[in-house]
Each structure stands twice: as structure tokens, then as C-alpha cells.
Structure 1
Amino acid sequence: MKNLWIFHHYATLPSLNGHIRPYNFARHLADTGISTTIFAASYQHFSDINIIQDDSKYLVNNEFDTPFVFVKTPSSKSGGVSRVKNMLAFYRNLFSVSKQYAKEHGKPDVILSSSPQPLAMIAGIKIAKHYRVPCICEVRDLWPEAIFLATRIQGNSLIGKFLTAGEHWIYRHGDALIFTKEGDTDYLKEHKWTTDQGGDIDLNKCYYINNGVELSSYYEQIKTCKLDDADLNNNKFRVVYTGAIRKINNVGNIIDTAYILRSNPDIEFLIYGDGNEAESLRRRIVDEKLMNVKMKGFIEKKYIPFILSRSSVNLLNYSQTEYNWTRGNSSNKLFEYMASGRPVISTVKMGYSIIDKYNCGIELDEHTPEALADAILQIKEMPPAQYERLCENTKDGAKDFDYKELSKKLLSVIMQSIAIKGSRS
């Protein structure tokens, strides 16, 4: 057995909402001779729960078949400074906690350290160096680019240059780099960091493993977690959105589209989710007397597969300006949508487009209510045989992003990293 340690600040138990990618990997890697331990922050970002309520530095949870080591961190609920303190606490405590855990359970053979918390990757590299094992850095979001897009901090500012230098250090010292978007290596080329350009990062150590979906669990939930919702069983063309209702999701655009299509009685918009813009959108629906759109509020994640499987088309509704989509999409929602076997409409045109590759929907060149209304009508008015082909393409495409398949890719990276590190020792 090889021992894999995963450092993932936001990893959660499979029984909770949040990041279960590490657990999905762990359960499949176990069948291949890899024993995984997941190190995560005690404060659960997506549920406002702190698993450690006393002075303990860490807590081990063996409730499932993969050990979770929760490292003590304070709450980051208020964001800003509290979130920075939360990140620093995870980074700082990870060193002593991992040392103690190694004494009791043995050292790792390889470490997988995941972003978007960049300090976690720095800790992973340093701890791996101590044990003389490889560190694989998983880059889920390109920091600090995401910070530059979402805040007033500019890349050419003093702090921007400092953050970029830190990012470069991580990429240079990681034994292998896993990117979750297919085009993320373009970022390295844009900065002229690759060895082909005279830089110090070898593209041969870069790999692409996107997010995905646990298909066996997904299809089981469709059968066992059915939602009693009359709107999912009517004869209308159901346009479904699931997810957060925040500025970046631009759900107001869906309401605008519903207004354009309000005279078409066969089309109904169903919005499942909650967020800080939900109440204002509800008022709009009432004020504009929209009878073709319903906001369903928060729904437990276990019901999402059933909801999506009962749609006619599912919406990936994003802002074109809040994020850089040129390098692809790693949204978990995309793969949940694909697994449902229903066409997908994306309100942004993606680089390295998965929707285009699998011919499973439509991406809009313009993010306008008019363009979205046209795309909905285009799918609604398709001949049945063409619509069914879209559905089959969507479901078939999801198979490539089943965690069973993604875990095979990760196993290959793990074994190559161990072999290369061993040859250099």
C-alpha cells in the first residue's frame, strides 16, 4: 500500500455539502493499493460548522472508510480578515498536526496539496521535502488571477507582483501540477514560465484532471431521492437552474429571459437555490407579474439529480465579466447537468469547450436575455430525434468525468511522481 496525504482546506465529509472531490478520489484509489488520509480545516466553509470546539489541535474522523484529519482553524464566516486568519491557521497548524499524525500512523509516500488556498500548496511542498516524497499541487483556481478579477488589486501593483511571485514559486517547486481546466497551461505560457520559452516550469509535469461527478451515486439518487414537486411532472418545457443566487451567477438574466418568453405558455422557468439576491428577484417576479418563473428556494443536494433529470434543458448561467472563461470550465454543476442526460445552455462561450466537444448543448456568444431566449426556443423547437441525440451526447459525455475514470488519471500521476522522485534520490 502507498500512503497518500491530501491537503485540501475545504474538504468535507461525504455526508455534508461542500468539496467531496478528495473523498471521491480516495474511495476509488483504495481499490488500486493507495491508502488516503485527507487533511482539512475544522471550520467547514459551506456549513458554518466548526468540528473542533475545544483546545485540540486536530481531530481524526474515521466515520467513513477514509480518515479525515481536521486541523483546528477559526471561523471565516465574516470573510475579509477572518478568512485570512483562517487560511493562516490551517497553514501554520498543518506542520505540527501532520508531524504528530506521521508518528502515530506512518509517513506519506506522496502528498497531494490542493488550492485555491495557495498556502496549503506551500505547506505541502515543504512537508513533502521534509519526508523526501513528491508533492503534487492541484490548481483548482488560478490565484492570484482570480483575486485580480474580483477585487481592485492589480497584477502590476506591489502586492500583485508579490502574489504572482509566490504563485510562480509553487509551480516551480511542485513535483507535478494538476490543473482542473484543460487550458490552464496557457496561463504558464502567457507568463513565459515554461522551459520551452526559457523559463523553469516543464510542461511535462503538468496534467489535466477536471472536476466530475460520482455517476453510480448520482443515478442511485435519481431513483431513491425523488422530490414531490408538481412542476417537475407537468407537460411544460422546463428550463431549470440550480445553484447560488449571487451577483456572479447573474440569475437576474434568467428573469429577464422569462419576461421575453412570458407569452409562451409552454415554457416554465424553475430556479432552485438561494443567495443574497434571491429576495430582490422574488419581488421582481411579483412586480412584473411573471407567471412562467418560480423560485423554489434552497434544496438539499441529494434531490438535485432527480430535479435535473426532470428538466427539458439546464442552464449554466454565469457572468461573462466576473471570471476568465477562455481556459475552460471546471464547474461541478456542468458535470451534474451532463449526467442528467438533458441538454445544457451556457450563457458564456468557453475556451476548450466541453459542451462543444460532446455536442451536448449551446453556448451563447452574447450574454443577453434575447440570446438566451433564442437558445431556449432553438432547443424546444428541435425535431424529437435531434433533441434525443443531444440528450444521449450529454449523458455519454458525463462518463469521461465519472470519478472512477478521473481517479485512474490521478493514479497515473501519483505513480509517475513517485517513480521520478525515487530515480532522483
Structure 2
Amino acid sequence: MMKFARLAKFTAAASIAALALTGCGGNGNAADANGDVTLRFSWWGSESRSAATQKIIDAFEAKNPGIKIQGEYGDWGGYWDKLATQVASNDAPDIIQMDDKYLREYADRGALLDLSDIDVSKFDEAAITNGTTEDGVVGITTGINAMAMMANPTLFKEAGVELPDDKTWTWDDYSDISAKITKNTKVFGATGPNEPAGFQFWLRQDGKSLTTAEGTLGFEPADAVSYFEMLKGLMEAEAIPSASGIAEDQSPGPDRSLTGTNGAAMGMWWTNQLTALSGASGEDLVPLRMPGRSGEAGGSQTFFKSSMFMSATKGTKHPEEVKKFIDFMVNSEEAGLLNLADRGLPSNLDVRKAVVAALDGADARSAEFMADIEDEIAAAEPVPPRGFSGLQDILYRYGLEVFFGRLSTEDAAQKMYEEMKIEIS
């Protein structure tokens, strides 16, 4: 398993590196006999996101009859390997839904188009900065979100357990509650961690960070030891699944996850995923603050994050049409009302106001949660350095080494630290 994971990762990295040899050429799209331009747009996400995105495409095409958008989408697991291969083989989509973990991977190799002339005058400054590198604005933030512990009230009730006071609850409280739910029901109290956010919260609560603004690691092996020991304790208490169960739940999207299929009462997810999770589970899931270490209000050290970006291939043959679509996606109230909160609460503040007023159900709960935690928001994580995308895989891999009992927490932490240093150097 580990061998194939390393091979897949090597293949993806090699594909991205091959950009230097391909010259970042375009994807070959050209105007057809009628003069229409066809743009390829790739994204990952749930079925609900795909349905909403198609409606946005239809609305854009109705307003721009000379431009056609060809959608390409899939789940998170295979998205990045496919994209790396497409870019390296000179067959990249014109428009790319981008994640912050990968932004510098592509930007620093000259693969992304400068989008500086797209109007972001209605954005928060942080939303602009998050997509900016030395090459310009290479990612337009679609919206903001936050990590939350999504709780299933029905499963809590079946277990005879009250929802916690999430303003002050601790990791010990989280462990006790999860273990009790597992004991009293046929489901797990919680899922495994969502990395790298789980480790980021653990570090933030000790005044540290996964990576620094200078592009180095912001923690020591001892910090990883304590984190692994906490997770191992959760597994031993049966608060979370066994090692094999955790491994199986690391790749599915919201629709097929333990959270989305009611196999666990709690799970770590970004707020923009609440609608997909609630729809899949058939339950009104409730977002909770992450557990803290101090037991004091604000102890979770919650932060806002760019949910994702709209980026473009530098070699696209139709840069102006690409920018027109991205502008429609992020600045159009019509697109915002179709997206709602699925790609985060809109970055455009005017669009956000219209969207929040129109929300109901899970989207409304997500927006209310974001408003509720706004006064508690701590400093954002530094912009991820190149190589950051590999840290997720490394964290998951060494976590499983601990869960399966193949490495001690000390050995796993030291090996992980050394490998992470190499990954971002």
C-alpha cells in the first residue's frame, strides 16, 4: 500500500516538474466553424456541487453565446494526479478549481495564468492575498470557510449523550463523548482526523504552526509525538474506528464517508461541506467548534481559510474568455445564488450578503456558524510553501503506522518530521 502511494505521488510530482520541458503550452482548444470558443473547466466535489456548477455553466453560456464550457470533474482522490498528468502532457483544462495545498506547486513552475486584471475590489484583503504569489494573482478565492466538527444530533440522542458546549470543550471531552457514543450505539463516536487540519489545530493550540511564512516547518518532533499519542488514545478507547477503518475513511468524499453515511456521530469537515454531508446522511448535521486544550472560550484557535480558488492554465488559447468565466463565477450574484455556500461563503462581499439572505437548511447553519465564530478567529495559517501538498499524505501515512502498531509514536514523529523537511525544502 505504502509503496504504491509513494509511486503515485512520485508520478504526480514528476508530471508537474515536466512543465519545464513542455513549455506550459495550451490545450489545443480553438474556435469552431461557427466561431464559438470551448473552454474546459475541471473541478472536484460532491454530486450537489456538480449539479450547481452545471447550472452556473448554463447561466454563463446563456449570457455569452459565443463561449461554451466543457465540464470535467471527479472526486478529490484522483483529481490531482490527473491534473498533473494533463498539465505535463500539454492537455491542461483552461480553468482549474485549485486548492491552496497545490497553488504554489503549479504557480512556481509557471503553469498558471496571471489573473490580476479580474475585479476583486469587493473582496477582503486576505482573500486576495491568499491567491497571490510573486507571479501575480494566480488564484481567485471563491469563498472562505472554517474547519468544524460536524455532529449528528440523531446519533447523539440514540446514545443518550448531550451535544457538548463547543466553546470550552477539550480533546479529553471529545474522547469521552466519542467513546460513550461508540459504546451505546452501533456506530463510532467520531471518525479519524482530517489532515493536515487536525495537526494544524493541535499545533495552533500550543502557539505553533505546521509551516511558517518562511516556508519551513513550524514544529518539533515532540509536538508530533503528543499528537500521535492523543490519536492513538482515541483509537484504543474505541472513540474512533480501528486502524483499517480509519484507512478506509481517508479518501471518500462527503457522500461516501462515515459522516455522510451515518457511520459516525462526529467528523472533521470544512463548513462548505455541511450541505453535501447533510444531504448524504439525511440528517441535519450541526457544526461545532474544534476541541481545544485549555478549556477556555476561544481555545480552539479557529481560523478562516480560502475554501478553494479559480485558477487558469497559463498556456490557454483563450485567456480573455477564461477570465470572463472566472469573473462570472466569483463576482456574479446569479452564480453566487447557485453556488450558495458550497464553495465557501462568497469572497465578493456584495454577493455574500445576497447569498446569506437566501440561505436555508444546511447552508444557513453553515453561515450562522461562521458568523458565530467570527469574533474568535485567530490568525490565518501562513500561505503554504511549495511541497505542502505532500504533507497531507505524509501525515496520514505515519498516523497509520502508529495506528497499526508498526511504529512507536516517537519513531513515527521523528521519521515524519525528517520526511516533511525534505518535502518542502
Q: TM over 0.5: same fold?
A: no
Q: Which structure exhibits the higher relative contact order, with contacts defined as CA atoms closer than 8 Å and separated by 6 or more residues?
A: 2
The normalised TM-score by structure 2 is: 0.33
Larger Rg: 1
